[in-house]
Amino acid sequence: MNDQPKRSTIYFDSALHAALRLKAAHANRSVSELVNDAVRASLAEDQEDLAAFEMRVSEPTISYEALLVDLKANDKL
């Protein structure tokens, strides 16, 4: 994989962009560093979610309607 940084154009809401620039200045980091860290964190969270789904694939499922019936039958609704 090529480790050279890639350029991309991202359009931010103006208030979000202002907040991001202030945070970058306050943290003495670039906007690119903050965005890269946020994207990495989001992708890592996705990976954790997929692993959790895989671990739970054999668990029994129940439909929403059946859940409501069960809750009502047990006086929880």
Average per-residue pLDDT in the chain? 95
The verdict on residue 29 lying in a domain is yes
Q: In this model, does residue 75 exceed pLDDT 90? A: yes
Per residue in 17-42, pLDDT (tens digit) is: 999 999 999 999 999 999 999 999 99
> Cβ neighbours of residue 21 under 8 Å, at least 6 residues apart?
31
Query: Quick one: pLDDT band at residue 2, thresholds 50, 70, 90?
Result: confident
* Mean pLDDT, range 57-72, rounded to an integer: 95
The type of residue at 73 is A
The verdict on residue 66 lying in a domain is yes
In the prediction, which pLDDT does 1 show? 63
The verdict on residue 54 lying in a domain is yes
Number of domains in the chain: 1
Reported pTM: 0.70
The verdict on residue 4 lying in a domain is no
Q: Which domain holds residue 57?
A: 14-73
